[in-house]
Amino acid sequence: MARPLSSEKRTAILEAATQVVAASGTSAATAAIAKSAGVAEGTLFTYFSNKDELLNALYLDIKSDLHALMTRSLKPGGELVDRCRGVWDSFIGWGLANPEKAKALKQLAVSDRITEETRRLSSGLSSPMTAMFQECSVMVVQKGLPKTYAGTLMSVMAEITASYIAGEPAKARRHIRAGFDAYWRAIGQ
């Protein structure tokens, strides 16, 4: 009789995968992930049938973590600029507090190993944020830009802002404010 799967081992594998993917990209060996997790490689395949399943689970795990934080930052009914600023601040804060997750997510986001189904699942994680970005989309579409421009631009500008903060930590507040102001102007205000 097979032993039940342990949520602790699954979490350890995902945490190890985060570290290994952040350091080596999606081509990293599953043996390296298993070693980092402190499990046998066969155990890794007990939890995930193959490497692609592991990478897709990791992508959803990181995106879920990020979306939950950003959704908590939304103030219902407030002005759009204030809601966007709250999401921006939490996005930047998450990236600074979780640099390995941010780096792994960046690697996973451009990987062809992440399925369209996984991408679709991740885009539906947060309906309050989706609604906010739909409001932003109206502004960017009026400027003749693609509907997805507002969300994509926030990701890219947050990454740039985080790199400036890493170089000048004493000016973090200034960079966060300047980054958001530039973002807000870019989407139409």
Per-residue pLDDT of the chain (189 residues; tens, 9 = 90+): 556 778 999 999 999 999 999 999 999 999 999 999 999 999 999 999 999 999 999 999 999 999 888 888 887 778 889 888 999 999 999 999 999 999 999 999 999 999 999 998 887 766 677 778 888 888 877 888 787 788 888 889 998 999 999 899 999 999 999 999 999 998 876
What's the confidence (pLDDT) of residue 28?
A: 95
Answer for the pair 107, 114: CB distance below 8 angstroms, yes or no.
Answer: no
What class, spelled out in words, does domain 7-186 have in CATH? mainly alpha
Show me where the domains of the chain are located: 7-186
Answer for the pair 155, 95: CB distance below 8 angstroms, yes or no.
Answer: no
DSSP string, 58-106: HHHHHHHHHHHHHHHH--TTS-HHHHHHHHHHHHHHHHHH-HHHHHHHH
CB atoms within 10 A of CB 86: 17
Express the helix, strand and coil content of the chain in percent, nearest 5 each. 75, 0, 25
